[in-house]
Chains A and B, each alone.
Chain A
Amino acid sequence: MSASNIVVKDLTKTFGAFTAVNRVSFEVPPGEIFGFLGPNGAGKSTTIRMLCGILQPTSGEGRVGGYSLATESEEIKKIIGYMSQRFTLYNDLTVEENIAFHGGIRRLAPATLAERKRWVLKMAGLVGREKALTRELSGGWKQRLALGCAILHHPRILFLDEPTASVDPVSRRDFWDLIYELAGEGTTTFVTSHYMDEVERCHRIAIIYAGAIIALGSPRELKMRFAGSESASLEQVFVAAIKGARTA
Chain B
Amino acid sequence: MIRRITPIARKEALHIRRDPRSLFLAIGLPMFLVVLFGYAITLDITHVAIAVVDQDRTALSREFTAKLGASAYFDLKLTLDTPAGVDRLLDEGRVKAVVVFPTGFARDVAGRRDASIQVLLDGSNNNTALIAMGYISRLFQKLATDLLAAEAGRAGAGSAGGGAAIAAGHLPSVDPRIRVWYNPDLNSTDFIVPGLVAVVMMVMAGILTSLSVAREWETGTMEQLIAGPVRAHEVVLGKLLPYFGLGLAQLALVVLTGTLVFGVPLRGNLLCLLVASSAFLLCGLGIGLLLSIITRAQQLAFTLAILLTLLPAFLLSGFMTPISSMPRLIQAVTYVIPARYFIAMVRGIFLKGYGFADVWPELLLLAGIAVVVLAACIRRLRLRLD
Report the bound CA distance from A91 to B216 in whole Å: 11
Is A104 engaged at the interface, CB distance under 8 Å to the other chain? yes
Is B85 engaged at the interface, CB distance under 8 Å to the other chain? no
Please report which residues of chain B, range 1-25, place their CB below 8 angstroms from some CB of chain A when the two chains form the complex. Answer: 3-4, 6-8, 10-11, 14-15, 18-19
Report the bound CA distance from A149 to B221 in whole Å: 13
Q: Which of B4, B14, B384, B385 contacts A93 (CB 8 A)?
A: B14
Interchain nearest-CB distance for B328 vs A (Å) = 46
Is A90 engaged at the interface, CB distance under 8 Å to the other chain? yes
Whether B228 pairs with A77 at a CB distance below 8 angstroms is yes
**Are A104 and B14 CB-contacts (below 8 A) given A78-B229, A84-B220?**
no
* In the complex, per-residue mask of A158-187: 1 if CB is within 8 Å of any chain B CB, else 0: 000000000000000000000000000000
Q: Which of A54, A56, A78, A97 contacts B226 (CB 8 A)?
A: A54
* In the complex, per-residue mask of B371-386: 1 if CB is within 8 Å of any chain A CB, else 0: 0000000000001111
**Are A90 and B227 CB-contacts (below 8 A) given A100-B7, A101-B10?**
no
Interchain nearest-CB distance for A81 vs B (Å) = 9
Report the bound CA distance from A173 to B228 in whole Å: 28
Report the bound CA distance from A100 to B18 in whole Å: 17
Whether A55 pairs with B386 at a CB distance below 8 angstroms is yes
Report the bound CA distance from A88 to B229 in whole Å: 16
Whether B14 pairs with A92 at a CB distance below 8 angstroms is yes
Is A87 engaged at the interface, CB distance under 8 Å to the other chain? yes
Is B146 engaged at the interface, CB distance under 8 Å to the other chain? no
Please report which residues of chain B, range 202-226, place their CB below 8 angstroms from some CB of chain A when the two chains form the complex. Answer: 219-221, 223-226
Is A230 engaged at the interface, CB distance under 8 Å to the other chain? no
Interchain nearest-CB distance for A80 vs B (Å) = 8
Please report which residues of chain B, range 222-273, place their CB below 8 angstroms from some CB of chain A when the two chains form the complex. Answer: 223-231
Whether B227 pairs with A92 at a CB distance below 8 angstroms is no
Nearest residue (CB) in A for B226 is A54
Whether B223 pairs with A106 at a CB distance below 8 angstroms is no
**Are A102 and B228 CB-contacts (below 8 A) given A54-B384, A87-B220?**
yes
Whether B227 pairs with A77 at a CB distance below 8 angstroms is yes
Is A52 engaged at the interface, CB distance under 8 Å to the other chain? yes
**Are A105 and B229 CB-contacts (below 8 A) given A55-B386, A56-B386, A89-B221?**
yes
Whether B14 pairs with A97 at a CB distance below 8 angstroms is yes
Is A82 engaged at the interface, CB distance under 8 Å to the other chain? yes
Whether A88 pairs with B224 at a CB distance below 8 angstroms is yes
Q: B residues within 8 Å of A by Cβ?
A: 3-4, 6-8, 10-11, 14-15, 18-19, 219-221, 223-231, 383-386
> Can you list 17 residue pairs at the A/B interface with Cβ under 8 Å?
A54-B223, A55-B385, A77-B227, A78-B229, A82-B224, A88-B220, A88-B223, A90-B14, A92-B18, A92-B19, A100-B10, A102-B228, A104-B7, A105-B8, A105-B228, A106-B228, A107-B3
